[in-house]
Structure 1
């Protein structure tokens, strides 16, 4: 039985009340579903600002054939090209005139629509193909729609293919040689759009869609002003007759889809079904923001934003059902009628896949998916999945996490306790290094958006000083090297001999140390040392080249304490010896 307020004027006593007769759940509401708090790990890194002046950057990758730049989607419609050697930015493509007007509750207000994703074709350097996900006015019929008769969608999601033309592969401004729409999807509400696009190692294009918005995957009452459009009794995410709440897999080079504009791979899990959408690869998602493929193993890792309690990270299997809205994370979800839903202690039934890691809202408000780290400059982060949360308490206090699948740890930042901004996205460059994207407002307006690179401090352990990058300042031009120096046993003051050096790309310039060849001074602003209790101390060090020796040998001249974790040591007087260093205050 359903009782509904049909009044169109003001508020009635029964304010949009819907009562559905069902058996009450046997489980109890979990007030604190995951009691353990996320701890800071021993990975102490820094955020190096690469560029600023963006609005709400949400995704960043390299283009095939172009290792010099990072390409960044901005929610307001701009696709930026960032020069990684100097931070200069230009607009590669401007889609702002295609977008639905942003500001869900008025001018300069929160919104989840916009330019939400892009992907370069694997052969982009040869064919110039780029794919985008945009939120646009629903002014014509879409390929897929769940909108009932006499109702209107809030907007529609549009997947486009662009063929760009360049004088060369790194030309600043692209010329559009051709564009075409691959598929369109009507959206019931303004939120839960997801929007990620990625090509998998199989050459297929994967597209993430949220459940259509509103609350509980049922209707639009989560936010005032949203249209009242139901998602069906089971919800969109459990209805495989439409793409909402699902991850799609298509072949943009094919034409066997219903609209003839793309292909449906023959090995998709529901290919050939007459009742389930053949494009679906996996389903049961609320708002999958974001997903990525591991560049080594090909693993597909997807972060799904929870409703009121749980944020989750999933490993995606073909045909897998990830449970929303029957469950949130690994917990049974109770939609709680017209009140806020919650997770319960009731057992979860059905063949539903649980996340590999999850956290509750003591820790954050909305998960932001990232990447498995495969770069070379942060050895301690290798094979870790790096992701974040938009804001712990909703006031711009974003967080950065990492995991290898057993537990979640928070990155320990050198010069700050938290990033200090809304974390809106992550990026990965051609060398596998990672970037954090965010702004100061959490909304798609103004120009407080910035791109930061995760960079490693130098590290001293077991007599070896590893420096991830040294800018060599010399008369003939500057170069950057990754180096290892070995401590000379028994030397006092401590000396180091260069035992390895590897030349790096210009994108590593300014990440760490500098060596002035003329003065012989090696400045290392940040050196991590692990203490006996596994805490970390960070120092600034200055070394001086000793001329006339057969190897490049440096003598330690000064060390200054920058930051400690857990273990506090006060340095007083003229000198103090610690871990083989001769400390001069």
Structure 2
């Protein structure tokens, strides 16, 4: 997902270490060669998206870390950072206040941490401290509280797919087009239908696709789904899921000098009886894309809900695909492809066509780069780090939320063929994809030559660290407003997308059992993992992975 401002424990620990009295640390860390090798593999799997040993990336340069901080403290923080924060550990509190987010517990076995420490301990050079960090107070106007509070009522509960939070990993809940049937995913399992507000397993993707993996977490597993607008007659729907790198030959990849960590797979499913509550039918793979990390892959699948039969856009599948973590690994050209590649893009394909790269899908003639020599006909627009949500406003205008790097979150209005800046822009600021991602710069005087389309809305990380949309509220005090929020904290926002200029963003809150409560308090966890859903009547829902609960927003008295 994101650069994840949910930094790894290692990044948090390092930033505090600079203030400590110099001691000789790490004497107890093993230097056994086999353990170091194991640690290297674990680091590449769980940590390399955020860290390296040459320069600051998403997290800091880790070279020399184990020689600056007590080994026992590092190990404890990696295992459970939240417990240290709750215990009011001064170091943990300082880090939490700085980054405004907690970190998920290490996803592997506790004994693996010793191997990671052994690998880290092979790097002796101390990193150079960052000076002149330009990523605070870039946007002086702060978001104001609207005073609006809407009631929530518990609507449904997904079964736990793990014993620790997040107990269920939903990312999307939407109705099957033209029906009242409500579908929701759990990334670890597959798709559920909510029948009388109770989850009924509709499709077990893990069972049908045994190569599927949902670890090390973030956006892995069943990332998204979409039902064809003619589902009631053709029984077709689509899912995106992850498999380990090298599972099968890919349709799209990149340079051989960058390892393939995972593959994203787009699958078409055909239900024998479209009215059936449980999947029985066939499936075929449409598309397979290599990914350099567990992050920023195929985060969104959707069809245009406003398109009618006969419209050029009817039945075309939109796909949000991020940079795959390639920018953090210093392969900026993979994202900055000028329409010649498919990464960091919103794609649009005809799932029933056959003139695509592998003959299993079609290239819509209305796409801006269709049938142009050397261009990727699948691309609708490009220049996104992590376009995790694609949506249309009431006027039928296309938008996308895009999770930023270190400083800026974006909501973009999408126009065909346009470039939205990543990895050389973050919001309305310049960024050097080969330098520090913490440093942003004013736009140059000749900026227009780059042809960047800038965000409709941009938010700094003192307001939100991982933006997620979001739907239009049908009535009540937020009628017609687009609601969205911050994934980790659960902070809630709204804006009028049709407001002239840059729409004003305000915050709002919730009531539960008649009392005002924060989202963290509501879900009993410091990380909310906020998502939104909608039903056939356009009622909007708030969802949290922490406990796997779904809450209905009550918009009228």
TM-score normalised according to structure 1 size: 0.64
Q: Say which of 402, 424, 428 aligns to 2:534.
A: 428
Q: Say which of 484, 493, 507 aligns to 1:387.
A: 484
Question: Which residue in the other structure is 2:490 paired with?
Answer: 398
Question: Which residue in the other structure is 1:96 paired with?
Answer: 206
RMSD: 2.4
Q: Contact 1:235–1:325 at 8 Å: present in 2 too?
A: no
Quote the Cα distance in structure 2 between the aligned partners of 1:417 and 1:408: 21
Question: Which residue in the other structure is 1:62 paired with?
Answer: 175
CA 1:346–1:258 in 2, change beyond 3 Å: closer, same or farther?
closer
Q: Say which of 278, 281, 299 aligns to 1:195.
A: 299
Question: Which residue in the other structure is 1:115 paired with?
Answer: 222
Offset of residue 235 of structure 1: 4.0
Question: Which residue in the other structure is 1:370 paired with?
Answer: 470
CA 1:39–1:18 in 2, change beyond 3 Å: closer, same or farther?
closer
Quote the Cα distance in structure 2 between the aligned partners of 1:311 and 1:417: 25
Q: How many residues align?
A: 400
1:355 aligns with 2:455: yes
SS in 2 for 1:115: coil
SS in 2 for 1:96: helix
Question: Which residue in the other structure is 1:15 paired with?
Answer: 53
Task: Summarize deviations over 1:173-214 as a string: whole Å, max 9, x none.
Answer: 121x22111111111111112420111222211101000115
Task: Summarize deviations over 1:277-303 as a string: whole Å, max 9, x none.
Answer: 111000000001111123x42221100
Q: Contact 2:388–2:468 at 8 Å: present in 1 too?
A: yes
CA 1:194–1:344 in 2, change beyond 3 Å: closer, same or farther?
farther
CA 1:237–1:79 in 2, change beyond 3 Å: closer, same or farther?
farther
Q: Contact 1:335–1:342 at 8 Å: present in 2 too?
A: no
Q: Contact 2:158–2:199 at 8 Å: present in 1 too?
A: no
Greater relative contact order (Cα 8 A, min sep 6): structure 1 or 2? 2
Question: Which residue in the other structure is 2:399 paired with?
Answer: 301
Offset of residue 438 of structure 1: 1.2
1:288 aligns with 2:375: no
CA 1:292–1:237 in 2, change beyond 3 Å: closer, same or farther?
farther
Question: Which residue in the other structure is 2:251 paired with?
Answer: 143
Offset of residue 262 of structure 1: 0.9
CA 1:453–1:351 in 2, change beyond 3 Å: closer, same or farther?
same
CA 1:416–1:61 in 2, change beyond 3 Å: closer, same or farther?
same
1:34 aligns with 2:139: yes
Offset of residue 346 of structure 1: 3.6
Question: Which residue in the other structure is 2:98 paired with?
Answer: none
Larger Rg, first or second structure (1 or 2): 1
1:416 aligns with 2:516: yes
Quote the Cα distance in structure 2 between the aligned partners of 1:412 and 1:182: 41
**Structure 1 segment 138-537 matched on structure 2, within 5 A:** 138-148=246-256, 152-166=259-273, 169=275, 171-175=276-280, 177-200=281-304, 201=307, 202-203=313-314, 204-213=316-325, 217-219=327-329, 230-232=330-332, 234-294=333-393, 296-335=394-433, 337=435, 339-347=436-444, 348-349=447-448, 350-373=450-473, 375=474, 378-391=475-488, 397-405=489-497, 406-414=503-511, 415-420=515-520, 421=523, 422-440=528-546, 448-458=547-557
Offset of residue 35 of structure 1: 2.4
Question: Which residue in the other structure is 1:72 paired with?
Answer: 184
Offset of residue 240 of structure 1: 2.9
CA 1:342–1:454 in 2, change beyond 3 Å: closer, same or farther?
farther
Quote the Cα distance in structure 2 between the aligned partners of 1:237 and 1:198: 24
Quote the Cα distance in structure 2 between the aligned partners of 1:454 and 1:130: 27
Question: Which residue in the other structure is 2:148 paired with?
Answer: 43
Offset of residue 92 of structure 1: 0.7
Task: Summarize deviations over 1:503-535 as a string: whole Å, max 9, x none.
Answer: xxxxxxxxxxxxxxxxxxxxxxxxxxxxxxxxx
Quote the Cα distance in structure 2 between the aligned partners of 1:123 and 1:431: 19
SS in 1 for 2:233: helix
SS in 2 for 1:126: helix
Which has a greater percent of strand?
A: 1
Task: Summarize deviations over 1:152-184 as a string: whole Å, max 9, x none.
Answer: 411111111100123x62x32121x22111111
Gaps of 5+ in 2: 1-35, 41-51, 58-131, 160-167, 308-312, 498-502
Gaps of 5+ in 1: 1-7, 20-26, 105-109, 220-229, 392-396, 441-447, 459-585
Offset of residue 274 of structure 1: 1.9
TM-score normalised according to structure 2 size: 0.68
Quote the Cα distance in structure 1 between the aligned partners of 2:465 and 2:442: 21
- Segments of 4+ in structure 1 off by > 6 A? 8-11
Task: Summarize deviations over 1:336-373 as a string: whole Å, max 9, x none.
Answer: 62x44332224344211111111111112101122233
CA 1:209–1:43 in 2, change beyond 3 Å: closer, same or farther?
same
Quote the Cα distance in structure 2 between the aligned partners of 1:18 and 1:81: 44
